[in-house]
Structure 1
Amino acid sequence: MLNVLEVNIESAGYETGNAKVHHIQFEVGTGQLVGLIGPNGAGKSTTIKTILGTMQEVKGEIRIGDGTGIYAYVPEQPILYDTLTLWEHLQLASAAHEIPEETLHERADELLEMFQLQEVKHHFPSTFSKGMQQKLMLIIAFILKPALYIVDEPFVGLDPRATGRFLRMLQAEKERGAGVLMCTHVLDTAERVCDSFILLHQGQIVARGTLDEVRAVSGIPDGTLFECFEALT
């Protein structure tokens, strides 16, 4: 298995001398979905920002894909332009990544139909609900078809039907060979769909690996991910 993400963070924080995470080391392989979990304040956001290159105080190294640094990031809070329609958002993203117009239409039509946004593709997302905005962020990511997805709390605002469609798309992208790093508090879903886990607590990794490996560290041989989470944090 090739790695599409290699993380080696010695320390990272928002200001000099005040690191929020220490010794964060893990990989995401092709076709692998890794869950990044932990309580509030554990260092998940700092870890993601470090991977994205938006933290200034960092000691360590991040390697994405083949070294080009191309990935799709879906933030917890949708980031959209008030003056662009849904379709114009898709055009902007595809142009930035040099996706041909024909390919954009082919991919977008299927995704818009899947997430039930076809009828509002020429509307402004500022008029959308949070769930509709989140769907648009997911569509933009899936149109790019990158080697790596970084997804932060993707289930917030999605109804059960949209959640199912999102998970099926993730599975299809895994089968294509993409890797996924997913940060979530929805542990029952994470337990069902993730191949392995990175469990953070107080800025450090307290467990990593498959569910069985996390169970071994937590001392709960038959525990759920939630039970292991409670025991370790």
Structure 2
Amino acid sequence: MDVLTVDIRQAGYEHGAPVIRDVSFNVESGELVGMIGPNGAGKSTTIKSLLGLLRNVEGTIAFAGEHRRYAYVPEQPVLYDYLTLWEHLQLAASAYGLNEDTFEKRAMELLERFRMVNDRHRLPTGFSKGMQQKMMLIIGFLLEPDVYVVDEPFVGLDPRATGDFLELLEAERRRGAGVLMCTHVLDTAERICQRLVLINEGTVVASGTLADVRRQAGRPADASLFDCFLALT
């Protein structure tokens, strides 16, 4: 079952000036789809379009699933200056209607996983980039949505936190959540993504499994995703 269907004919920041065209793909339940492309290719515009942050979008975007809710983990953490880490988590839980017992159980499990229990009453504005990124991941996993939209999740994470993130992502896939992950870490994308969407100059230039992308790029059967990326961009 598809939990996210995207069919954008065109979208942009000003009327009559599209940045992306003919961007179509889907994410199935339990599937991790990697969206890759060079800087300025249209990935961020695509994400903003599907999150409903742009007015000038022509096409259809549909979130499905049991609850029809998603979690967005941005590349740049969103912080409130005067809220502690715990208060950020409480705010997210309140917005999604989590009851107190469920919230506290999930929150403490995630804080322990990312080794941030002792930081829960600190202000995240004083955290390192990696700690701020871990906070955003905790908020996303806290909600247990049908779809995760994750933008450059590996920026600032140390190897252990990266491992924790990938383990949790795999557990969420087994639960049935779909994941759309935008990343420049191509070796990791090649290893963990079931399908790929490669965007260049505002449109999709290849999509499917790695084998599909190799064929579309005209590369041999043993070519890496990096080789395909270079051929298509």
The bucket for the TM-score relative to the shorter chain is: over 0.9
CA distance in 2, matches of 1:177, 1:66: 9
Q: Which runs of 5 or more residues in structure 1 are unaligned?
A: none
Once the two structures are TM-superposed, the CA of residue 64 in structure 1 deviates from its matched residue by 0.7
1:76-91 matches, within 5 Å, as: 76-91=75-90
Corresponding position of 1:171: 170
Corresponding position of 1:223: 223
CA distance in 2, matches of 1:229, 1:113: 37
Runs ≥4 residues deviating over 4 A: 66-69
Cα-to-partner distance string for 1:29-62 (whole Å, 9 max, x where unaligned)? 0000000000011100000000000111110010
Cα-to-partner distance string for 1:163-195 (whole Å, 9 max, x where unaligned)? 010000000000000000000000001101110
Once the two structures are TM-superposed, the CA of residue 69 in structure 1 deviates from its matched residue by 4.9
Work out whether 1:74 is the aligned partner of 2:73.
yes
The one-letter code of the counterpart of 1:192 is: R
Aligned-pair identity (%): 59
Once the two structures are TM-superposed, the CA of residue 66 in structure 1 deviates from its matched residue by 4.3
TM-score normalised by structure 1 residue count: 0.98
Count of residues paired in the alignment:
232
1:1-233 matches, within 5 Å, as: 2-66=1-65, 69-221=68-220, 222-233=222-233
CA contact (8 A) 1:82 1:126 kept: yes
CA distance in 2, matches of 1:50, 1:78: 19
CA distance in 2, matches of 1:224, 1:201: 18
CA distance in 2, matches of 1:142, 1:130: 19
Aligned to 2:207, the other structure's residue is in SS state strand
Over 3 Å counting, the alpha-carbon distance change for 1:212 and 1:63 in structure 2 is: same
Cα-to-partner distance string for 1:103-125 (whole Å, 9 max, x where unaligned)? 11111111101101000101110
